[in-house]
Structure formats: C-alpha cells, structure tokens
Chains A and B, each alone.
Chain A
Amino acid sequence: MSVAAAIRTRDVGELPSRRDEDWRWTDLRGLIRVLPAPSESFAGTLAAGPFDRLAIDHHVLVNGGDARIDVAAGKKTLAALRLVSRGAGAHASRVTINLAAGARLRLLESYESDGASVCQTALTITLAEGAALERIVLAEDHEDAVSVSQAEVRLSPTSDFGQTIVTSGARRQRIETRASHPGGRASARMDGVYLLAGKRHADHTTVVTHDGVDGTTNQLIKGVARDQARGVFQGKIVVSEGADRTDARMGHHALILSDRAEVDAKPELEIYADDVSCAHGNTVGAMDEEALFYARQRGIPEAEARAMLTEAFIGQVIDRIWFEDARRVVRNWAAERLRV
C-alpha cells in the first residue's frame, strides 16, 4: 500500500486512509474517489521557478519522471530541483541524490502545481562521510492539488543535513522525511513552516532514527492556520539501543488564527538508550493577546500588529536557514502570504 502504487495501478484501495495510524490526519482514501488518468507529457514553456536565479544546476521534472544529482567527493554545487505538475492528471517522480565524501550541496527544491493533479515524489538522498546538504523546499501547490513528497535520507558519520520545508499547503499535502542517523557527530536539522489559508491542508511528517552514538537532531516547525485550514505535524525521534549521547530536540508551535482552523500534532519520542537527552515542546493556540496589546499600546494598529507578530513567529524558523540568498527568498515569500 502506497501512494506511488495507487498512482501506478489506479487502484484507490492502495491509498492510505485515516485508519492507518501514520495517516490518521491525512486521509487520502476518503478524499479520492477515483484516481485521475496519468498526466500527459508537457510540451509548453514553463515560467521561472522560485529559485531559478540562485542555482547553478537546474533539474526540472514536469508531470513525473526521474532525476539524479551526484556531487563528487570534495565538490560543491548549488542545484535547483523543480517538481512541476501541469494539468489534472496523476504522476509520480523519482529523484536520487548522492553526495560523496566531503561533498557539499545546496538543494533548492520546489513543488509547483496548477490544478487538481495527484502526484507523488520519492527522493532518496545519501550523504557520505563529511558531506553537507542543505535542502530548502518551497511547496507552492494549487488549492485543488493532492501532493505527496516522501524523502529517505541516509546520513553518514560526520555529515551535516539541514532542511527547511516551507509550504502553503494544498487540498491535501504531505511532505515526509525519514532520516536514518548513524550518530558519529553527524547532525540533522529538520525544520518546517506552514502558512495555510482557505481550506488548505499541509502535513509535515518526519522520522529520525538514531542508530549510533553521538548524534544530534534539532527540529523546529512553526505553522499558521487561518480560515478553515488544517495543519498537521507528526514528528518522531527514535533512539535505538546503544545510541548513547544522542541529543535530540523537537519543537512544534502553531498559531490558529480563526475559529474554524485546525492543528493536529503528534510529537513522539521512542527511546531505547539511557544516556540521552531528548526533549520536545509543542504549543498550539491563538496569538499571545498580551504581546498584541503591548504593540497596540505603542500605536500599532491591530492588523499590522498581528502581521508583525506572525512574521516574527515564523521568522525564527527562517533565520535558521544557512544559505542567506535562499533565506531572503523564503522570507519574502512568507511575508507576502502573511500580509492580509
């Protein structure tokens, strides 16, 4: 059972449903009665992607296909990876990314759809020793799209992996990252931001499994849901037996800015080793009224004060992006969506 299999076989029975513990808040079987026909290949021209100006290497998949990015030992590159859906068909994409020892990659990934498509992307990302990858994902899906991205990340000792996923959701959207973490002074940052309005839905699911000693994981996810939108966060950190001196922190904080928006969260720790330090924090609620009053007492009108405080709230995640140019793109993108 998987989304990829459902797209391949056009059998809705393959779609995950709310009865699958892992998909309880992102029901696809209940949503999709009939899978659309496979997407046709796209012949037109594409407008520029959000990161085009920053990248050296460009990889564009329209309506499915395979892509591969290899970075040789000790080399360094900046790649844009665009996963584009045109029309209302169904398709799947596969992306393989390999970083050899000491390689460095800035990956600027975007999801762009323009209609009621159903798509799935499978990414396999491997980091050899000493490699460093920063993955910045901007998901700009259409409000009628169903979009699933599933990444498997394999870290090696002394590698650094950082990701920031920024999304405005879709009709149903799931962005999943499963990282196997060998410890050995490797580090993982698993950040995310969701800004949802209308009836949009976004699901951030991450699983980090620590299998060796001396690993760190740091995660900060923040979200804003207004109107009738729904944000989902499922984060899980597993520390296997013997993975001592693991340091893992996870934070999820969401603002619900309307009466009918919804946020569901499951920040999970599964620990089988004793010499660890793991923590998670989760807050969900309205904006801090006290801070709002304070800003208004200084003369800032309510709407402006709300926008300022929301931007600051989200900004704390964006500030953690290492690559400054991408940080700027993301910050502007977020600010645009927060101004009402």
Chain B
Amino acid sequence: MLSVSNLHATVGEAQILKGLTLEVPAGEVHAIMGPNGAGKSTLSYVLTGRQGYEVTEGGATLDGEDLLALEPNERAAKGLFLSFQYPLEIPGVPALTFIRTALNAQRKARSEKEITAPEFLKLARQKAAELKIDFEMLKRALNVGFSGGEKKRMEIFQMAMLSPRFLILDETDSGLDIDALRIVSDGVNALRSPDRAMLVITHYQRLLDYIKPDRVHVLAGGRIVASGGPELALELERDGYDRYAKAA
C-alpha cells in the first residue's frame, strides 16, 4: 500500500527527514512514536504535499503510484487522508458545506457520480450520530470557536464521511477526553478493512489500547530507528527514548 523509501526532506533551511524508509501493507495499522521535533508531522505533510516541504531525495508511493508528483487534492482523491495535529479554522464556511464540496470534488476526480443533497444529509446524520456529534455544530463555520477536542472529533467526522483508503492520524488523541477517545477510536476502527491501511502518530500507549497496531516504529532524528510489534510501544512507555537518541 504505502511505501516510503530513503525519504529526505527539508523545511525552510532545515533538513528534517534524513533517509526515512517505511512499508505499510494494505490491511495493516502502523504506529509511529518518537520524541518531540523528531519529524513525525513533517512526514505527514510531505506525504500529503504541503507547500514548503521540499523532498530532496528518496520517494513515496501509494499502491505503486508516485505520490510526490501529485497535487494535494489529487492525493486526497486517491484516498489519502490526514487528520491534522492542529486542525485549521475555516471562517465563513459551514462544516457541512465544506465536507460536501470535498466529497464531490473527490468523486469527480475519480469519475464517480456526485452525491445528492438528501443522500449527503442522510449520511452526515448517520455519521454524526455514530460519533456523537451534535448535528447543529455541523452548520457552524468549520472549526471556528471549536474546542481542541471538538476539532479532533470533527477531523474524524470528515474522515468517516470521505472514507479514505490510507489514513494518517497525527496525534488525534491529544486533547480528547476519555469518552471521546473511545468514540474516536471506534470511528477509526470502523474503517479498518483489508484494502485500507493507516499510520497512527501518537505519544501515548493509551490510544494503542483502542486502535491496536500491527507494527510500531520509532522515528528519531528524521529516520525510523527501530521497528517492532505492539510490545515496542509498551517498552517505550516504560523506558522513554533515551536508547534511541543515540541511534538517531
């Protein structure tokens, strides 16, 4: 599914990714952990094509197709979805309008038929109910004045609506209360399927109790310095990153 090889990337003047290699096969969930500033968010922005993130070496493909050559919206239409660490506020655009515009744009790009208004509303009501999101909130400008936790929930709502194939969750658990964490995890787990895969960036084992990863990677100093099974996350929680600081 996702294949990243020897990826080098700069932000401004700074070299942040320094030869990152990663394989996430279809049907699997991989977690990425690592100290602050290691380059986790950078990786998610490079994969989604944010401006200012320059790839200097290496590459990334989704189902064998070169991701880096595509525009951000083309990558999205291929099914790549990023749940932002810091979701943006979009003043003046109601959440529902925003999501419907996105959904139809993606469908159009895939030469699918646009969703009708009643179909869309029905889907939105259903997903909102599943995620325990007050439907009225969806009529407000997207994320404007939302609390930190509400914004994260709105990211997952968008994910549920767009049903992407490859998901990147960048610290989606931070800012969520206990109940929200479970609801959000249920939403994510509902999307698990043999033809989907995901990359879960987190600092806490707690999230991984809900979203069980197949593999855990340690990202430090711009590279993957260790990989293992779910037990690696437990070990990191206990011992911290000291051991890997040197390797980076």
| Chain A residues with a Cβ under 8 A of chain B | 289-291, 293-302, 304-305, 308-309, 311-313, 315-316
A177 CA to B185 CA in the complex, in Å? 56
- Docked-complex contact B88 and A316, CB < 8 angstroms: no
Inter-chain contact B102/A295, CB cutoff 8 Å:
yes
Contact B90 A299 (CB under 8 A): no
| 18 pairs, CB–CB < 8 Å, chain A vs chain B | A290-B88, A291-B90, A293-B50, A293-B51, A294-B90, A295-B98, A296-B71, A297-B84, A298-B99, A298-B106, A298-B162, A299-B77, A299-B105, A299-B106, A300-B102, A304-B105, A308-B98, A313-B91
- A289 to B49: give the CA distance in the assembly, Å: 13
CB distance from A174 to the nearest CB of B (A): 28
Q: Is B109 close to A, CB under 8 A? A: yes
A45 to B73 CA separation, bound complex (whole angstroms): 49
Task: Given A289-B51, A293-B50, A293-B72, verify A299-B102 contact (CB < 8 Å).
Answer: yes
Which residues 89-118 of B have a CB within 8 angstroms of A? 89-93, 98-99, 101-103, 105-106, 109
Interface pair B48/A297, CB less than 8 Å apart: yes
Question: Which B residues from 132 to 146 make CB contacts under 8 A with A?
Answer: 141
Q: Which residues of A contact B51 (CB under 8 A)?
A: 289, 293
Q: How far is the CA of A304 from the CA of B48 in the complex (A)?
A: 18
Q: Which residues of chain A have C-beta atoms less than 8 A from B88's C-beta?
A: 290-291, 294
The tally of residues in B whose CB lies under 8 Å from a CB in A reads 31
B93 contacts A308, C-beta separation under 8 Å = yes
Q: Which B residues have a C-beta under 8 Å from some C-beta of A?
A: 48-51, 71-73, 75-77, 81-82, 84, 87-93, 98-99, 101-103, 105-106, 109, 141, 158, 162
Q: How far is the CA of A312 from the CA of B92 in the complex (A)?
A: 4
A309 CA / B102 CA spacing, docked (Å): 13
Q: Could you tell me the distance in whole angstroms from the C-beta of A306 to the nearest C-beta in chain B?
A: 12
Q: Report the minimum CB–CB distance from A189 to chain B (whole Å).
A: 18
Which B residues are in CB contact (< 8 Å) with A308? 93, 98, 101
Q: Across the interface, do B82 and A297 meet the contact criterion of CB distance under 8 Å? A: yes
Task: Name the residue of chain B whose CB is nearest to the CB of A300.
Answer: B105
CB-nearest residue of chain B to A317: B92
Residues of B within 8 Å of A293, CB to CB, are 50-51, 72
In the docked arrangement, what's the CA distance between A171 and B82, Å? 46
Given contacts A293-B51, A298-B158, A299-B77, A309 and B71 within 8 Å (CB-CB): no
- Please, which residues of chain A bring their CB within 8 A of the CB of B103? 299
Query: For residue A290, which residues in chain B have a CB less than 8 angstroms away from its CB?
Result: 88
Which residue from B50, B92, B98 sits with its C-beta under 8 Å from A298?
A: B98
Q: Judging by beta carbons under 8 Å apart, are A299 and B109 in contact?
A: yes
- The reply to whether B101 and A297 contact each other, CB–CB distance below 8 Å, is no
- Whether the Cβ atoms of B93 and A299 lie closer than 8 Å is no
A309 CA / B98 CA spacing, docked (Å): 10
Contact A299:B76 (CB < 8 A) given known A294-B84, A304-B105, A308-B101:
yes
